[in-house]
Structure 1
Amino acid sequence: MSRWGLAGCVVAAYAVGFLMFLGLRHWQAGLPWTQAVRDAAVFAFIATLGGWVFRRAFRVGERRDDDHGG
């Protein structure tokens, strides 16, 4: 995947996570919109960053398996 394709996937994942967390924080937790937006932005960022870290870790693991003939 090209860098632009990866960037598009990251932005899409963040947007979906942001909207999902926004709905959860506002409607289920009953927070005001300003606090729900702030919480959703933080939660979506952490989830997106975590996904990126897992992707990198799996990619490194696959490279090691390929290098060792596994």
Structure 2
Amino acid sequence: MTGWRFAGRVVAAYAVGFLMFLGLRHWQAGLLWPEATQDAAVFAFIPAVGGLVFRWAFRLSQRREEGRNG
């Protein structure tokens, strides 16, 4: 996967998470829009970074397995 495709997927995943958390924080928690936007930005950032770390660790383990078997 090229760098631009990967960056596009990361941005898309973050945007979906941001919109989901924005709705949750505004309608369910009753926060005003500016406060909900701040919370959603943080709550969407954490899973996005976690996903990147998980992807990196998974690829690293695959490369190690290929090195043992290859």
TM bucket (normalised to shorter chain) is: over 0.9
TM-score using structure 1 length: 0.96
1:69 is matched with 69
Q: How many residue pairs end up in the alignment?
A: 70
Is residue 35 of structure 2 the alignment partner of residue 35 of structure 1?
A: yes
CA distance in 2, matches of 1:31, 1:47: 21
RMSD: 1.0
TM-score using structure 2 length: 0.96
Percent identity (aligned):
67
Is residue 53 of structure 2 the alignment partner of residue 17 of structure 1?
A: no
1:8-39 Cα offsets, whole Å, 9 max, x none, are 00000000000000001001111111110000
Following TM superposition, where does structure 1 have runs of at least 4 consecutive aligned residues deviating by more than 2 angstroms? none
Unpaired runs of at least 5, structure 1: none
2:48 is matched with 48
CA distance in 2, matches of 1:48, 1:16: 10
Q: Structure 1 residue 47: deviation in Å?
A: 1.0
